[in-house]
Structure 1
């Protein structure tokens, strides 16, 4: 890979574009950039919804960097052209987040993810100043179902693995992630001016910079708090990483000459039951955290009634999954935070913000 040369980065006047600025991870990335004195161009879906980006403006006012906001839509061709002008680095972090409650997987999840990536990179292709693009992908691009771990040589997923088992009808959200990343690599290989680095984070936990954050981890913790998992949780495992480590990885991917290709970003693995035990140790019995792990056989019977298809149960329950993050430690210098602490901090914030409430049986 060609070594990145950012001519004006020493003066920190060359703007850096961050798409999807109000997102959970993107907000932390922008905070770090602003505090380091960078000029940030940030895109939001609607400039009239000032509440959604008020936290970013507050951070900008308290930092040495500067923030300029632009309105852009992932599904509109050319929508990112203006925001990208003069930028040498583009961090594409905007992505539709729809795991449940969708009507049409292709139209609601897959097409927006792939077309959004294509539109942003078309703008990159027409913006001569851009030298490097960092795309926020997902751990879901490296595997589709937990049973895929059996096909790995060392019982862990690494950057050489790709999700080949998801489809439009089976696990459409992971499928959207891998298809969007593949689109990014196809477009990068079709030219020679800009480099691409993909960041593939595990389940992201840790404090948010705004109470309105949407993420898969919030859904899991809400279920822990509302009694849905009191009877027990399925035998499932997640790679977990602190949001601040993911932000660090993005900045390293943007500016570190060693950064290349793709990076699994994961601080370790916890089962759903282990997560429940950690939360009970810290918060006591004020919440109906899960105490038991129900057998896979139970979900084979009950699954269809609670939203788990038989194929999902068969392919994803009962298989501990692990991830090799050594490449991120070596190339990007990431020192991972304790994921148990991240879990506790995240739940405490949801409590403080009123996103979860004290359980009353």
Structure 2
């Protein structure tokens, strides 16, 4: 894309952890961003976006839109060349009904946004935020890969409404997007599939899966030890850059795994202890799998989950994002440290007092 050519770009779920960085990058490039939020009356949730816009050459236009309301994105989308759909429920625990609370909002929300795209002639590209959870369901799936790593050719086929409903919601939403894209010829689709996202947030009110992990490290829950589990990790700024490139690079196509590497939960604990010392009860050891089989259900780990996800290191091939999107990944160890420091600064995590 010619850097002097500015575009109108819709970003859904604008107040989100990753979306805020995406909007910042787009505004700094001089683009006009149509940003959707749930409630325009809750200015505290998006004041950081207005402050960012004031310092850039770009233009921010805010719109109210509910993910599950049909036609809610029609007005916000008018005149846009590109749609970046990032709004999605993030509920891994503490849900009552997996279908109603997790799966339907993800799938119906994607369908609603893309129905608006089908009605908006100006849109030529759609970028959907998916997840590496759309490429695999359980860690044991790594044993079925040829090169001991997941890549863009892999799909999650083992999650369901009752087993791993959050990953199931991600793969079903992405499949819905591809189905709708293939049913027409005007707009193309690029999916961004990030690993567990770490790194600094642009607002103290951000929620993400990584926050929950770090809170457990800080509150003593993992003092006795962590499960033998591994996560793909990626810095939020790299994920944002991937979205921008997916939106603006004419050659971007298909799916992109976005991952800066893999860390075990124990490795994450060691990284944090080496930086923050012994002020917090960071885990010092890994508990054996059989212990979680015996006591896991009491801690919210179903036996099936323990069997299929503990003890299997997982790895991701992010070469496509490097060669086609030009992503140069940050040091994920530094991302973990910066994220924890921000949680301290924002008061989300407090110094541990045993």
TM-score, shorter chain, exceeding 0.5? yes
Selected match of 2:270 from 268, 277, 285: 277
Cα distance in 2 for residues equivalent to 1:37 and 1:113: 30
Selected match of 1:308 from 301, 319, 340: 301
How much does 1:36 deviate? Answer: 1.0
Unaligned runs of 5+ in 1: 1-5
Q: Could you report, residue by residue, the CA deviation over 1:69-123 in whole angstroms, capped at 9, with x for unpaired residues?
A: 0000110000000000000100000001111111110011000000000000000
Cα distance in 1 for residues equivalent to 2:3 and 2:195: 30
Selected match of 1:210 from 193, 203, 208: 203
In the alignment, what sits opposite 2:349? 356
In the alignment, what sits opposite 1:88? 81
Unaligned runs of 5+ in 2: none
In the alignment, what sits opposite 1:79? 72
Structure 2 CA distance for partners of 1:225 and 1:174, relative to 1, 3 Å:
same
Establish whether residue 56 from structure 1 lines up as the match of residue 49 from structure 2. Answer: yes
In the alignment, what sits opposite 1:334? 327
How much does 1:11 deviate? Answer: 3.5
How much does 1:240 deviate? Answer: 0.2
In the alignment, what sits opposite 1:99? 92
Cα distance in 1 for residues equivalent to 2:5 and 2:290: 60
Cα distance in 1 for residues equivalent to 2:233 and 2:249: 24
In the alignment, what sits opposite 2:289? 296
Selected match of 1:25 from 4, 12, 18: 18
State the secondary structure of the residue aligned to 2:90. Answer: coil
Cα distance in 1 for residues equivalent to 2:106 and 2:229: 26
Selected match of 2:256 from 252, 256, 263: 263
State the secondary structure of the residue aligned to 2:46. Answer: helix
Selected match of 1:190 from 166, 176, 183: 183
Selected match of 1:168 from 161, 165, 173: 161
Q: Could you report, residue by residue, the CA deviation over 1:164-186 in whole angstroms, capped at 9, with x for unpaired residues?
A: 00000000000000000000000
Q: Could you report, residue by residue, the CA deviation over 1:126-170 in whole angstroms, capped at 9, with x for unpaired residues?
A: 000000000000000000000000000000000000000000000
Establish whether residue 122 from structure 1 lines up as the match of residue 142 from structure 2. Answer: no
How much does 1:347 deviate? Answer: 0.3
In the alignment, what sits opposite 1:155? 148
Question: Pairwise mapping of residues 239-258 of structure 1 onto structure 2 (< 5 A)?
Answer: 239-258=232-251
Q: Could you report, residue by residue, the CA deviation over 1:262-311 in whole angstroms, capped at 9, with x for unpaired residues?
A: 00000000000000000000000000000010000000001010000000
State the secondary structure of the residue aligned to 1:67. Answer: strand
Cα distance in 2 for residues equivalent to 1:21 and 1:297: 43
Q: Which runs of 4+ in 1 moved over 2 A?
A: 8-11
In the alignment, what sits opposite 2:131? 138
State the secondary structure of the residue aligned to 1:114. Answer: helix
Cα distance in 2 for residues equivalent to 1:196 and 1:54: 30
How much does 1:10 deviate? Answer: 3.6
Q: How many residues align?
A: 354
How much does 1:15 deviate? Answer: 1.3
In the alignment, what sits opposite 1:108? 101
